[in-house]
Amino acid sequence: MAEQRRLKCIKNRAMKSFQADFPNITPRQQKTHLFLEPT
């Protein structure tokens, strides 16, 4: 259970840095990009 929380935290941090790098990207493009290139 703690492992899931940790992964969620990592994913959230990745999303935040991703949005910082690509502020103009749409949520849909974001999902596709993260799916194709997991960080």
Q: What pLDDT, on the 0 to 100 scale, is given for residue 29?
A: 67
Q: Where are the domains of the chain?
A: 2-36
Q: What is the CA radius of gyration of the chain?
A: 11
Token pair in block for residue 6: 């940790």
The per-residue pLDDT for 14 is: 79
User: In angstroms, rounded to a whole number, what is the distance separating the alpha carbons of residues 22 and 24?
Assistant: 6
CA–CA separation, 5 vs 8, rounded Å? 5
Could you list the pLDDT tens digit for every one of the 39 residues in the chain?
788 888 888 888 877 877 777 767 666 666 665 555 555
Query: What's the pLDDT at 35?
Result: 55
39 near 18, Cβ under 8 Å? yes
